[in-house]
Structure 1
Amino acid sequence: MTRVRTVLLPPALAIVFAALLCAVALLISGDSPVTALRVMITQVGAGTTAVDIVNSAAIYYIAGLAVAIGFQMKLFNIGVEGQFRVAACVAAIVGGALVLPPVVHVLVIIVTAALVGALWAAVPALLRAYRGVSEVISTIMLNAVAGGLIAYLISTDAFGVLQGNNISTTPIPPSGHVPGISFGDAGTIFGMVFVAAALGLAYGFMLNRTRFGFELKASGESPTAASAGGVDARRMVLVALLLSGAMAGLVGLPELLGRDFAYTLTSPQGYGFTGIAVALLGRNHPVGIALGALLWAFLDKSALALDNVGVPREIVLIMQGSVVLSVIIAYEIVRRYELAAEQRRVAAQLRATPAAPAEVSS
């Protein structure tokens, strides 16, 4: 019961607080919170919104898993943004240049994306493990480098081709596409949605059923104790950041292999930063991250209908931002409450235990 309360209560408190804050903001602006909520819920059943929510949630889920792997070691991989963008760009270049059998073609693109993501994360991993450089600083700097590298790679002087008024990589042939599930006018669910679910299962299995998962969590809780138990702290830093980068490399694939089939100057950005919020909201648990991803996707896609009733869609940004801030506060409140409760239980047990009789010396 305590475990469930510790896991579920903080995100629930954060969402409630964010909803109340948005309600106050709407009332101050003269809009109705009830109307806004009704419109957002109704929008889910309109057009392709429901399918768009599922597709976006899969992308946010992979990004959240990438961040969570680092969080398990108390490593803050802000570089998921740059890692996924470089990986998607290089994977698109490789996928567009090859002609392979359908399944093999897709596997080559996926492996390429994972390897590029891991290699891009290797720089901060090595700097952290061997020089003690903060991964926060190095990954932020590499995000900026990633933007410049991508701009060069998709230029016409490198691998880019002119597509109307846009520049993109060579389109990936049909053998490299991942088919989705069509719902007619309601849209098509990306096939990579199921890959995202499989990644979540693999992440949960790794954490709870493998020695590496145990060492990962132990190193995050207490590096000193883990080292005393024979865990190589340097190796754990390297492996954790490389795995995080490999997972980040897959973030752009649902759209690349299910809709766009090429990387362009206008390809989506920002998923890496969203993954940080989703991982925090889900407290690095595979199920919690999934729920956080669905919530974030719901807020993103259903907010489009707010303009129709005169409610500014920016209210959703207020809610998303307040969720990120309040979830951290809620975790700390619940942690302190559980600690105080544990201290009270120990004190009660000590009072209930009769004192041992003193020995009588002869």
Structure 2
Amino acid sequence: MKKIDKERLLLGIAAPVLAIVVAFLVTALVLAATGKEPFSAFGIMFDYGLKSDSQVYILNKATTYYLAGLAVAVGFRMNLFNIGVDGQYRLAAFFAAAVGGALTLPGALQIPLIILTAVIVGAMWAGIAGVLKVTRGVSEVVSTIMLNAIATAIIGYLLQQGRLGHLDEAGTKISTKPIPESSHFFEFPTTPSPVWGFIVVAVVAGVAYWFTLSRTRFGFDLRTVGQSGSAAEASGVDVKKMVITSMLISGAVAGLIGMPTLLNDSYEYSGDFPVGIGFTGIAIALLGRNHPIGIALGALLWGFLERGTGKLEFEGYDKEIVGVIQGVIVLCVVIAYEVVRRYGLKRQQSKVGAELAAQAARNNDQQEVSA
């Protein structure tokens, strides 16, 4: 491996490691300030997080978080901040659940149809922000925030009895009609609870993300536009088309986020369907530096933190500690990446300066010999 590749690899690893270490140090100070023993808290987290049932929980949670990280990362690589992933996956999951509950097709047909419905709805909802950006210059941040609110209102309106809502037998909960058992996604039979089979789809999505961005012309154009839109346009890339396409892909991946919960757990969409995963995806994409492996590690870390800190509440620790740790990690990630980026830039400038000085010295020697 070349020296420059080794340095790039070390710098890439240094940022997340530095962020996590600093985050735990800051969290330890916070715990100490509240009169709690930080090392005891970390011990409880690790002991509980490494249990077999916790490992299953973490894998299932990480499956959802990984898809959220990928959805956000697609936009990040294009220099687009798709903050509307949360609304996209919820709306997609809602309509997918409605379609799945309304049909009684064989599972081999109905499962792909449910997933396809979610992908299309997510892509269309994200595409609105892309069209607004290229046609009216509306910031995707503003438009996606508003689309999140609109998605919530649409779901609230349709999830009512007499529309797409269905009142359960107990008369206490309104949800979409349950998806028939024949259309439940497969599971891995592990103890004490199964690992969701949708983890396979998440892995395939990660491989497709890596291949598209690293091995295709589209991926090259996407990364080029993200680095410099004017330079990409000068080289013949249709920037507007790339913006819309990227938002469509980001929304399509966002449509998959709710599928592990829908097809492997709840089998219906109700008021207690998970929310906020889109915003978690932003933190995970940042932590993983938009790389599929980095995002996977970030998703596993997030699942571990949720599981481990959940135990702390039963041990007398404040339940808000999980929010403190996650918030500190995000803040430290941003700072650590900037510190590492500046250090790497300074190293490159020093090397270029040294090479130029060496070249100037060689030129002077040659001139003296010629004289």
**In which range does the TM-score fall when normalised by the shorter chain?**
over 0.9
Q: Aligned partners of 2:124 and 2:356: how far apart in 1?
A: 54
| 3-state SS of 2:268 partner | coil
Tell me whether 1:281 sits opposite 2:303 in the alignment. Answer: no
| Aligned residue number for residue 326 of structure 1 | 332
Within the candidate set 41, 46, 50, 1:41 is matched to 46
How much does 1:47 deviate? Answer: 6.6
Within the candidate set 54, 60, 63, 2:65 is matched to 60
Opposite residue 103 of structure 1, the aligned amino acid is: A
Q: Per-residue CA shift, 1:186-236, capped at 9, x if unaligned?
A: 211111011111101110111111111111111101111111111100010
| Aligned residue number for residue 355 of structure 1 | 363
| Aligned residue number for residue 118 of structure 1 | 123
Within the candidate set 122, 138, 147, 1:142 is matched to 147
Opposite residue 60 of structure 1, the aligned amino acid is: Y
Within the candidate set 211, 219, 227, 1:221 is matched to 227
Q: Aligned partners of 2:344 and 2:143: how far apart in 1?
A: 36
How much does 1:313 deviate? Answer: 2.9
How much does 1:266 deviate? Answer: 1.2
Q: Per-residue CA shift, 1:106-132, capped at 9, x if unaligned?
A: 100111000000011111110011111
Tell me whether 1:78 sits opposite 2:86 in the alignment. Answer: no
Q: Aligned partners of 2:179 and 2:65: how far apart in 1?
A: 23
> Any stretches of 5+ residues in structure 1 without a counterpart?
none
How much does 1:176 deviate? Answer: 1.6
Structure 2 length as normaliser, TM-score?
0.94
How much does 1:46 deviate? Answer: 4.1
How much does 1:355 deviate? Answer: 2.1
How much does 1:308 deviate? Answer: 2.8
Q: Aligned partners of 2:215 and 2:206: how far apart in 1?
A: 14
How much does 1:34 deviate? Answer: 1.4
Q: Aligned partners of 1:125 and 1:45: how far apart in 2?
A: 42
| Aligned residue number for residue 194 of structure 1 | 200
Q: Per-residue CA shift, 1:152-196, capped at 9, x if unaligned?
A: 221113111112311000111122210111224x21111101111
Q: Aligned partners of 1:283 and 1:190: how far apart in 2?
A: 26
Q: Aligned partners of 2:255 and 2:106: how far apart in 1?
A: 23
Q: Aligned partners of 2:50 and 2:13: how far apart in 1?
A: 28
Tell me whether 1:311 sits opposite 2:320 in the alignment. Answer: no
Opposite residue 233 of structure 2, the aligned amino acid is: S
| Aligned residue number for residue 176 of structure 1 | 183
Within the candidate set 102, 127, 131, 2:132 is matched to 127
| 3-state SS of 2:256 partner | coil
User: What is the percentage of aligned positions where both structures have the same residue?
Assistant: 49
Within the candidate set 222, 236, 243, 2:242 is matched to 236
Q: Per-residue CA shift, 1:34-54, capped at 9, x if unaligned?
A: 111111111124473221110
| 3-state SS of 1:249 partner | helix
| Aligned residue number for residue 92 of structure 2 | 87
Q: Aligned partners of 1:47 and 1:66: how far apart in 2?
A: 29
Opposite residue 257 of structure 1, the aligned amino acid is: L
- Change beyond 3 A, Cα 1:29–1:199: same
Moved over 3 A (4+): none
| Aligned residue number for residue 266 of structure 1 | 272
Q: Aligned partners of 2:78 and 2:53: how far apart in 1?
A: 39
| Aligned residue number for residue 101 of structure 1 | 106
How much does 1:5 deviate? Answer: 2.2
| 3-state SS of 1:170 partner | coil
> Any stretches of 5+ residues in structure 2 without a counterpart?
1-5
CA-atom RMSD, angstroms? 1.4
Tell me whether 1:248 sits opposite 2:254 in the alignment. Answer: yes
Q: Aligned partners of 1:110 and 1:7: how far apart in 2?
A: 35
Opposite residue 190 of structure 2, the aligned amino acid is: F
- Change beyond 3 A, Cα 1:98–1:199: same
Structure 1 length as normaliser, TM-score?
0.96
| 3-state SS of 2:174 partner | strand
User: Which segment drifts farther, 317-326 or 60-69?
Assistant: 317-326
Opposite residue 323 of structure 1, the aligned amino acid is: I
How much does 1:2 deviate? Answer: 2.0
